[in-house]
Amino acid sequence: MSAPEVRIDQLTGLRTVLAPGRAERPDAFTETPIPQSAEDGECPFCEGREDRTPPEVHAVRPGGGEPNSPGWTTRVVPNLYPVLSDADETERPSGADSGLTSPADPLRASSRVAEPDLFAASPAAGAHEVIVNAPRHVASLAELDEDSFAAALDAWRERIRAHAGAAAYSHLIVNEGPAAGASLEHTHAQLYALDFVPTVVARERERFTAYHERTAGAHLLEDVAADEVRRAERLVAIDDEALLVAPWASRSPFELRVIPRRPAPCFEDEGAAGTGMIHTALGALARLFGSAPQLNLWVRTAPRGVEEFHWHVDILPRLTVRAGFEMGTGIEVNVYPPERAAEDLRRVLA
């Protein structure tokens, strides 16, 4: 086995992507990866070291210039150790999966006249890109000024749009710190353009749709946001475009959610909406803890062709460890209630 592939667990129906090439990453199996810093001269994401990455697929150079040269504000390259195989080089399954089950699911395919293949696999096709958020070496998005931060989010949106026609779902993430899975210190995002819709996203989509139908046209996250503003217990901040809340069922301490005030399905189609509030959220966490905590951030946007959806951005500081109960049951245990977290964050923003 060399190319990434998708396997479906026979008991749960959940997918695993096997990506053997990622085992070749430096420190792949160390408990705490050692991030490459600007000082040791090894960071491949710093400006002037463009030859240390794969050739770029996109970059913004305000002053012009040749590809793979300095002068950029944001730069996008293929991941050197991709989770997904290039879709152009991989035989894609017939029909993109966009639901809770997949045509490749052995139980869905079973019948009295045909024995299911309980060990079927499919290619893990798609694109896996790295978006370098800034040419200057900083370890956190919170360290970027407003203009640089806005440029980074513009690049996120552009790359999601670039894959909109082919990908069933585009998942954009930021990992900051070794505990969050970052192997490179320089601030960057990653984009996974998937040819299927992950189960958790499909479930969220179905809840949006069911609520919309049951309430004769209301939008689930819009109603949640309105109630959060009215109650004010978990509201951290609000501006003309978005609000910042500690979610009602926060999975871990100081989890935050940025919710746009105008319901819209696609993050990538809303200009700069929410950019300022995402920056506020990261800055508030940095001020509260004295420096930016290790964290994961992801953008939830609508799967291809879905209209009843409501984009949002989730931020999850890595302050505790998931153990056997959480992993074995899927039930998270949060030791710090969101109401208390929101109060703490409001205080540092005051």
- 135: domain CATH number is 3.30.428.10
In a domain, 46, yes or no: yes
- Consecutive H or E run containing 188: strand 188-194
Q: Considering the domain boundaries, does residue 6 fall inside one?
A: no
Please indicate, yes or no, if residue 28 is contained in any of the structural domains: no
d(CA 93, CA 195): 9
Domain assignment of residue 108, yes or no:
no
Whether 104 is in a domain gets the answer: no
Q: For residue 79, report the phi and psi dihedrals to the nearest 5 degrees.
A: -65, 130
Q: Is residue 20 part of a domain?
A: no
Give the residue among 36, 73, 12 at the shortest CA–CA distance from 184.
Answer: 36
**CB atoms inside a 10 Å sphere around CB 333:** 12
Nearest C-alpha neighbor of 82 from the set 123, 127, 44, 50: 127
DSSP 121-158: EEE-EEEEEEEE--SS--S-GGGS-HHHHHHHHHHHHH
Q: What is the mean pLDDT of the chain?
A: 91
pLDDT given for residue 39 in this prediction:
62
CA 82, distance to chain mean position in Å, is: 15
Q: What sign does the dihedral 100-102-103-104 (CA atoms) show? A: negative
- pLDDT, residue 286, reads 98
In a domain, 119, yes or no: no
Give residue-wise pLDDT tens across range 212-262.
Answer: 999 999 999 999 999 999 999 999 999 999 999 999 999 999 999 999 999
> What pTM was computed for the model?
0.91
Contacts by 65-71, CB closer than 8 A, 24 or more apart: 70/135, 71/47
Whether 349 is covered by a domain: the verdict is yes
- Tally the domains of the chain: 1
Instruction: Look at the chain and count its residues.
Output: 350
Domain that holds residue 53: 40-86+125-350
Could you tell me the two tokens for 283?
Answer: 């800055």
Q: In this structure, is the dihedral angle defined by the CA atoms of residues 44, 49, 55 and 58, taken in order, positive or negative?
A: positive
From residue 210, how far is each of 142, 205, 219, 310 by CA, in Å? Answer: 37, 9, 10, 13
Low-confidence ranges of the chain (pLDDT < 50): 90, 92-96, 98-99
